[in-house]
Amino acid sequence: MLETKVCIVGAGPAGAAAALQLAQLGIQCVVVDKAVFPRDKVCGDGLSGKVITALNRIDPEIARRLKEANFKVNSWGVTFVSPARYSLDVGYRPDYNSENNAHKETPIGYVCKRIDFDNFLVDEIKRRPEITLLEGVTVDKYELKADGYYVTGNKDFKVKADLLIIANGAHSSFTKDVANITMEPKHYVAGIRAYYKNVSGNNPDNFIELHFLKSLLPGYFWIFPLPNGEANVGVGVLSEAVRKKKMNLKKSMLDIIANDPVFKERFKDAELVSNIEGYGLPLGSKQRVLSGERYMLTGDAAYLIDPFTGEGIGNGLYSGRIAALQAAEAIKANNYSAAQLAKYDTEIYRILGPELKLSHRLQKLIKYPWLFNTLMKISSRNKQLQELLSCMFYEVDLRKKLAKPSFYVKLLLNR
């Protein structure tokens, strides 16, 4: 039986970030994943600026290697399209200007297939002698004893750990059975994704596109440009609405592509080059207890996906890193109690809480198409608001302004 201070279950973005941050701190760990990498993960493949920020904080060399990787496209912003088809381009950098190339010095968003991005992170894990990575091992049992967690899986896997970092994604049984967090349709999104080739009309600066089409509200249809003329195309809708309206997401997406006047044209020469696959998005629109005796939940296993944008990779990396920092404190104090690890929750909600709240507010706004249309209409004429929206992605303190309801009231009154 292996013995370790920290065992990380899952080697996706959250688990990889935790392991790499622990290695940076000189702490050994065991990472176990049911998949053998490279492996696919159903996703939109959009990496916002948070990804580089998080990797940079773990180790600037990892961020540098990602910047140099050729499996991704650089993206400089997001196009939001409202139900009445008001379109708003928001550059990731507040100084974005499509007329000149100044902003291009530092792209802060990327689109890359998860099979490549996650394998990049696993390659980073493999560089570190402090990390023992076990692939192809499905963990199926967790037993808490006085001296630690006993974790078992197939291939005779057995490990005793002082502390668990749970990073096994949206379908984590630990989250459900031990942490008692269950799926609630109003805090969960159902998503599907497909790869297409030759979709036309993409933004020259590779903006990712979120189309809040009437038929999908409160969800959206997306097109994210990829290398080699491919695009990640998908649909995400709140599970509550999917159930209520008895929606078939695959049918809805194919219907949009075939019949919507705008997309019919853009997909005229396009070819579907993958299966259409679905997966869940556990949203951070509700605060939960993310730690307990000898464990911390991270990434999707902690329900940390942004409820407005659907972004979970950045929050996965952030939470993995925060869990590693808290693990280091617990090891130093030789204290793995729920009270000690509650500091993890405090840190998560201090750092990610304001933004999750704001996004929840924006998500609710989508339920009122007229308000959403109005906001988009105003925004397209209001430079200050555009800059603020950029800040949402660029991570400056101004973002806090956006979390205040008074901001929207003033905006609507002063238009």
Q: How far is the CB of 393 from ligand FAD (least distance, A)?
A: 12
Nearer to ligand FAD, 135 or 380 (CB): 135
How far is it, in rounded angstroms, from Cα 42 to Cα 312? 12
Question: Tokens representing 373?
Answer: 């249309």
Residue 342 burial by CB count (10 A; 0-12/13-18/19+): exposed, middle or buried?
middle
Nearer to ligand FAD, 292 or 314 (CB): 314
Nearer to ligand FAD, 206 or 374 (CB): 206
Is the separation of the CB atoms in 168 and 139 below 8 Å?
yes
- H/E stretch holding 81 reads strand 77-81
Nearer to ligand FAD, 10 or 292 (CB): 10
| SS3 per-residue string spanning 333-360 | HCCCCHHHHHHHHHHHHHHCHHHHHHHH
Nearer to ligand FAD, 11 or 257 (CB): 11
Q: How far is the CB of 411 from ligand FAD (least distance, A)?
A: 27
Q: How far is the CB of 207 from ligand FAD (least distance, A)?
A: 13
Nearer to ligand FAD, 34 or 294 (CB): 34
Of 91, 368, 92, nearest in space to 212 by CA: 368
Is the separation of the CB atoms in 189 and 44 below 8 Å?
no
Q: How many CB atoms lie within 10 A of CB 192?
A: 20
Q: How far is the CB of 76 from ligand FAD (least distance, A)?
A: 16
Q: How far is the CB of 197 from ligand FAD (least distance, A)?
A: 19
Residue of minimal Cβ distance to ligand FAD: 312
- Cα-based angle 210, 368, 223 (whole degrees, multiple of 5): 10
Q: How far is the CB of 408 from ligand FAD (least distance, A)?
A: 25
Q: How far is the CB of 208 from ligand FAD (least distance, A)?
A: 8
Nearer to ligand FAD, 148 or 236 (CB): 236
Nearer to ligand FAD, 323 or 385 (CB): 323
Q: How far is the CB of 282 from ligand FAD (least distance, A)?
A: 8
Q: Where are the alpha helices (DSSP H) in 59-103?
A: 60-68
How far is it, in rounded angstroms, from Cα 231 to Cα 251? 19
Q: Which residues bind ligand FAD (CB under 6 A)?
A: 9-15, 32-35, 41-46, 138-139, 167-169, 191, 193, 234, 236, 279, 281, 299-301, 305, 310-314, 316
Region at 12 (left for phi over 0; alpha for psi -120 to 50; beta for the rest): beta
Name every residue whose Cβ is closer than 8 Å to that of residue 383 and which is 6 or more positions away in sequence.
none
